[in-house]
Structure 1
């Protein structure tokens, strides 16, 4: 196979720390039915990438083994049945995997146009976080205007997205973060109160506000009972990750007597149709906000593709505010 048939990519050479990410060459993917191939300019770096690298989040059997769940670039090929996208279009996409590479194939229905006023670097940060926030906060969590919304990890990619979207739709937004600097960043984005969890008991703070109607959590562990304590009657807790672990003793009497709802989801295993429906709602409800500048991705750091290990170290060090990206080309 000639080099013209292959591409640069970052593979997981073995399960472990960031050092297992290794540059390699792989065949350029081919667009299957209802798929496109994108020549990526940037790829987003996300927590699920690190979990996959550690052997804790295996890709679906039909997906690439390369990490990377979002990116932006130019469509260079379309498969049979694709009518909504043309070669040469600039898009960002939710990927089944394979984003740490020069080219990637994905379902055409999971692509969205690069919003007006944004470049490929910013657009690469949109899909994973916006699909996750929209589906969990609004579709699953049912957040409505005037409700009190608490998001943990407010300075993360998920957190900065959730704060802006919830605020734009009229919710009262609260957040937690791990430093005063991060809390200030959350409040600058629209949170009316951001709590440094190293100094403040968020459960007591939220109870003083009347309780949270909805909580979006990716921490898990001992936060589960504290989240239950922090909810208002009839409140909802949506769980999307477990950074502190997924096993914990919980007093379910409060769930019964206060009519609480505990739910959650992961994005990657959902069907192509489910993801296409999320994409359709984002195009209608959220993309106009991005194009008008009312909301925008919060950027932290850019790394070259070959420096993916350093990007993972930055993310796992939890010092970042907003999104980390890899520059592909």
Structure 2
């Protein structure tokens, strides 16, 4: 049986370094399952490793992609009941390929009522949002999220309200996101509205920041000393300075929480996630065949896009 995968053998620009390769599938390792993929999304977390940002923990060649959904075709005896069922084949090989091998204990069964286009993106951004809210609860607080048009920030904002935040302000870059944020009960603020941002930050005791740079600095300088600033990304490409001891700054990286998470806790986390995802507003999906991966990456990089690119494994 042959498998087509999107592979990188050197670090650099994903549009240059990623290549489609066809190869024969090998034997299935013990305690692994094999999954015929249906969809895999394009995320920043899929593209950044290709640039070499995390080269110290990546062995080349590597297959791109960290999440997706598919149907189990082979499984060990302990997971035989999952053959023919939809799962998220996580914590195994890269997901931008037709067949993925993954540890059976960490594969996540997909509930029947969750469609493929939602299931395919139920890991990277939702799990990060859930863990941040568990570790830095928003209940009874005024909250700010930056990069509010992004998927992770969208989950953070919606779920913070569901968990009892007094208010949530979403700072966005493209005006196309304003109506969608307001429809979810989130107060939209354009990132150039410095005075309004300073006023919102003056009451905010939780800031979940994905941008860094000047916006992060502005928020840190104006929020209460009793607040907590959670940094989980640097989309601006620029750092910020710690000019004072307060408010407290936390650095959140989801991989730090997953290293020691046993299979039972891993499965439990997703049972909670399905419940949240069922009642969440999510972005639309734009489908691309796997051989159109370059178009999918370019679409992902388009400023102001409102849909998530999904690679379809036909």
TM-score class, shorter-chain normalisation, is: 0.7 to 0.9
SS at match of 2:261: helix
Q: Evaluate the alpha carbon distance shift between residue 303 and residue 190 of structure 1 in structure 2; reply closer, same or farther with a 3 A threshold.
A: farther
SS at match of 2:212: coil
| Cα distance in 2 for residues equivalent to 1:29 and 1:224 | 47
Q: Evaluate the alpha carbon distance shift between residue 284 and residue 99 of structure 1 in structure 2; reply closer, same or farther with a 3 A threshold.
A: closer
The 5-angstrom pairing of residues 82-121 of structure 1 reads: 82-83=78-79, 86-121=82-117
**Deviation at 1:165?**
1.9
Q: Evaluate the alpha carbon distance shift between residue 20 and residue 168 of structure 1 in structure 2; reply closer, same or farther with a 3 A threshold.
A: same
| Cα distance in 2 for residues equivalent to 1:48 and 1:16 | 14
Aligned length: 312
| Cα distance in 2 for residues equivalent to 1:56 and 1:109 | 29
| Cα distance in 2 for residues equivalent to 1:59 and 1:115 | 36
Residue 307 (structure 1) aligned with residue 292 (structure 2): yes
Residue 154 (structure 1) aligned with residue 144 (structure 2): no
Residue 194 (structure 1) aligned with residue 177 (structure 2): no
The 5-angstrom pairing of residues 164-313 of structure 1 reads: 164-171=158-165, 172-191=167-186, 193-201=187-195, 203-207=197-201, 210=203, 212-245=204-237, 247-253=239-245, 255=246, 260-268=247-255, 271-274=258-261, 276=263, 279-290=266-277, 293-313=278-298
1:67 is matched with 64
**Deviation at 1:51?**
0.9
Which range moved further: 155-164 or 122-131? 155-164
Residue 321 (structure 1) aligned with residue 313 (structure 2): no
Q: Please give the TM-score of this superposition, normalised by the length of structure 1.
A: 0.83
| Cα distance in 2 for residues equivalent to 1:34 and 1:139 | 31
2:45 is matched with 48
SS at match of 1:74: strand
Structure 2 unpaired stretches of 5+:
none
**Deviation at 1:182?**
0.9
Q: Runs ≥4 in structure 1, deviation > 6 angstroms? A: none
Q: Evaluate the alpha carbon distance shift between residue 247 and residue 198 of structure 1 in structure 2; reply closer, same or farther with a 3 A threshold.
A: closer
Give deviations 1:225-276, integer Å, cap 9, x for gaps: 22313433421122112122354333114x1xxxx32112323465454274
Contact 1:66–1:99 (8 Å) recurs in 2: yes
1:143 is matched with 138
| Cα distance in 1 for residues equivalent to 2:92 and 2:182 | 33
| Cα distance in 1 for residues equivalent to 2:118 and 2:5 | 21
Contact 1:240–1:265 (8 Å) recurs in 2: yes
Contact 1:52–1:58 (8 Å) recurs in 2: yes
Higher RCO by CA contacts (8 Å cutoff, separation 6 or greater): 1
Residue 134 (structure 1) aligned with residue 110 (structure 2): no
SS at match of 1:115: coil
| Cα distance in 2 for residues equivalent to 1:84 and 1:252 | 56
